[in-house]
Amino acid sequence: MESKNFVGKKELWMFALGAGGQGMIYAMMSSYISDYYLNVLQLTPVFVLGLMLLARVWDAVNDPLMGMIVDRHTTKRGKMKPYILFAAVPIAVLTILMYLSPDFGGDKTKLMIFSAVVYILWGMFYTMADVPFWGIPNVITPDSKERGQVISFTKIINSVGSAFPEIIFFIAGFVLPAIFAGDDALTLNKKKYLIIAIIIVALGSVLYINSYFHIKERVVPPIKKPAPGEPSQLKRIFTCKPLMLVLAMGVLSSGRYMVQAAAIHVARYAFYIGPDLANLSYDEKVAAIEASVSTVKTIFQICAIVGMFSVTLLMPYLMKKFDYKKLLISTCLAGAVSSVFTTIVGWFAPSNVSLFICIPFIIITCVPLGVINVITGALICDCLDYIELNTGFRDNGLGAAIQGFINKIGSCLSTCGIIVMYMLIGFEPSKMLSSEVITAATELTRTQNFAVFSLVSVIPGVSMLLCAIPMFFYKISGKEKEEMIVALEAKRTAEKAEIAE
C-alpha cells in the first residue's frame, strides 16, 4: 500500500487549483479587511476589535460543530466534497458585500451592524467550505506519504492563489487614480477595494467550484458506533496530546500572519516612496500616496512570496528527507533570529533606506510561513492516524476543523494586534484617510513609523520563537511515527477498511 499511487495528476491539479481559488478569496479577506474596516469604512478600533474577538469566540463553537457534522454524515455525493458546492455561492456574495461600502446616510451604527452581520455570516459559510475541503487529503488517499505530497503540492497552489490579490492591488494603485481622477482618497479606496473583490471572487469561485467535479473520495473507514463508556468525538480530539500540541503551536504562530496582514498598514504609515508631497496638489498627493502604498505593499508581498513560496515549492522534497518536527523547529528559530536583524535595521537605519536593507531579513522571516502552512496539515493528519490506531475512530472532520480554527485564530490575532497598535499610538481612522485630508507616512513621528513597522518585525519574531516550544514535546516523529504507520496499516487490513481504487 505504501508504494501505490492513488491520486492521478489531473485529480491532484484540479484539487490544488481549487485550493488556489480558495486562497484568493481568503487572502482578499485576511490581508485587507483590517485596512478596509479601519481606514476606508472608518469604523472605530474598539468596534473592529470587538467584532474580531466575537467572531473567533463563535468559531470556537462553529468549527468543531462543522467537523462533527462532516464526520457523522455522508451524502450520496460523498462526505467532504459536496460542501464545496453548498457554500461557494454564499461565500462569493458575502465577500462582495463585505467590500460594498454602503453609505446609510452617514449613520455609523447601521454601517457597523451591516459590517458585523456580513463578517459573521462570511465566517460561518467559509467554515462550511473550509473544514471539509481540507479534510479531503484524508479521504483522497490511504497512503501517508502520498497524502503528504498531496498536502504540500496543494499548499503550493494555495499560496499562489493567496498572492494573486496583491497583483491586482498593485496594478489598481497605479491605474485607478488615473481612471477616477478627481475622486478624493476615501472614495477612490472604496472603489478600489470593491473592484478588486469582484475580480478575485469571479476567478477564485470558478477554480474552487471546478475542483468538486474531479475529486474522488477513496478512504471509507468502516462505520463504527461508540460503545458505552467509549470517549466522545470531542473527548477523543481534545485528549490527544500530540494534536493539542499542534493546536498550541498553531495559535502561538499567529504572529506569522502579520507580515501579510499588517503590510498594508506599514505601507500607509511606516514608509513613503515617491516625490516630495509638499508642492503637490491634492489630486497629485492622492495619486502619489496610492502609488507608494501599492509599491511598499508589493515589496512586502514579494518578500513573502520569495520566502514563503520558495520553501513551499521545496516542501515535497523536504518532507521526504526530513522529520516534520525538526524541520518546523529549525525554520522557526531561523525566522526569529532574522526578525531581530529586521528590527535593528528598522530602528537605526534612516527610514528612506531601511525598507530596502530589511528585504533579505524579511524574506528569511517569511520562510517559516511556508513550512508551518504545509506541515500543520500533515501533522494533524498524523495525529488522526494516532487517534485511529488507539481508538478505532478517525475524526477527519474535527481534525480539519482544528486546522481551520488555527488559520482563523491566527488571522484574528493578527488583526487584533494591528487594532491595538492603532489604539496605543493614537491613530484615529477618521482623521487618517478622509475626503478632506489624506495622511502620509512622512507626516507621522519616527516613533509612530517604527511602532507600525514593529507589526512586521518584532511580533512575527516573538511568535516564531514561542511556537517552536510545544513541538519539543511532540512525539509522533522519527521511529515512533514509522511504527505507528505500520501498525495502522495492519489494523485497517484486519478491519477490512474499504479503499476505493
Residue 496: the pLDDT is 61
SS3 content of the chain, % helix, strand, coil (to 5): 80, 0, 20
Residue 242: the pLDDT is 93
- Going by C-alpha positions, the residue among 351, 376, 346 that lies closest to residue 361 is 346
d(CA 358, CA 271): 12
Residue identified by cell 476606508 is: 40
Residue 2: the pLDDT is 46
* pLDDT tens for each residue of 396-451: 878 878 888 888 888 888 888 999 999 998 888 777 777 667 888 888 888 999 99
Asked if residues 399 and 383 have their Cβ atoms less than 8 Å apart, the reply is: yes
DSSP 80: S
* pLDDT tens for each residue of 50-84: 998 888 778 777 888 888 888 777 777 888 888 88
- Span 300-310, mean pLDDT? 86
Residue 220: the pLDDT is 64
3-state secondary structure of 438: strand
Classify the phi-psi angles of 272: left when phi > 0, otherwise alpha if psi is within -120 to 50, otherwise beta. Answer: beta
Q: At what angle do helices 396-424 and 45-72 cross, to 10 degrees?
A: 180
d(CA 291, CA 6): 48
Per the domain annotation, does 382 fall within a domain? yes
- Alpha-carbon Rg for the chain, nearest whole angstrom, is 23
List of residues 6+ apart from 422 with CB closer than 8 A = 38, 45, 429
Residue 455: the pLDDT is 93
d(CA 348, CA 431): 29
Looking at residue 302, which CATH number applies to its domain? 1.20.1250.20
d(CA 366, CA 316): 18
Per the domain annotation, does 225 fall within a domain? no
> Which range is least confidently modeled, 2-11, 80-89, 459-468?
2-11
- Burial of 135 by CB count in 10 Å (0-12 exposed, 13-18 middle, 19+ buried)? buried
Asked if residues 441 and 100 have their Cβ atoms less than 8 Å apart, the reply is: no
Residue 1: the pLDDT is 41
Residue 223: the pLDDT is 56
CA distances from 278 to 185, 283, 442, 446 (A): 17, 13, 10, 18
pLDDT exceeds 70 at position 6:
yes
d(CA 408, CA 413): 9
Q: How many CB atoms lie within 10 A of CB 318?
A: 19
Q: How would you write 88-120 as a 3-class SS string?
A: HHHHHHHHHHHCCCCCHHHCHHHHHHHHHHHHH
d(CA 44, CA 157): 36
- Going by C-alpha positions, the residue among 169, 42, 178 that lies closest to residue 115 is 42
- Parent domain of 75: 9-211+232-499
Per the domain annotation, does 220 fall within a domain? no
3-state secondary structure of 214: helix
Residue 247: the pLDDT is 92
pTM: 0.79
Residue identified by cell 488571522 is: 411
* pLDDT tens for each residue of 196-254: 999 999 999 999 999 999 988 887 665 566 666 677 777 888 889 999 999 999 999 98
CA distances from 162 to 28, 107, 333, 448, 501 (A): 8, 34, 25, 29, 32
* pLDDT tens for each residue of 253-294: 988 888 888 999 999 899 998 888 888 888 888 899 989 999
Residue 230: the pLDDT is 72
Number of domains in the chain: 1
> Which range is least confidently modeled, 141-150, 272-281, 369-378?
141-150
Residue 315: the pLDDT is 84
pLDDT exceeds 90 at position 343:
yes
> Which range is least confidently modeled, 154-163, 176-185, 224-233?
224-233
**What percentage of the chain exceeds 90 in pLDDT?**
42
* pLDDT tens for each residue of 476-495: 988 888 899 889 888 877 87
Residue 226: the pLDDT is 63
Per the domain annotation, does 207 fall within a domain? yes
Per the domain annotation, does 217 fall within a domain? no
CA distances from 492 to 76, 92, 216, 230, 357 (A): 24, 40, 20, 20, 55
Q: How many CB atoms lie within 10 A of CB 489?
A: 18
Asked if residues 359 and 303 have their Cβ atoms less than 8 Å apart, the reply is: yes
Per the domain annotation, does 3 fall within a domain? no
Per the domain annotation, does 363 fall within a domain? yes
d(CA 406, CA 409): 5
Per the domain annotation, does 61 fall within a domain? yes
DSSP 433: B
DSSP 271: -
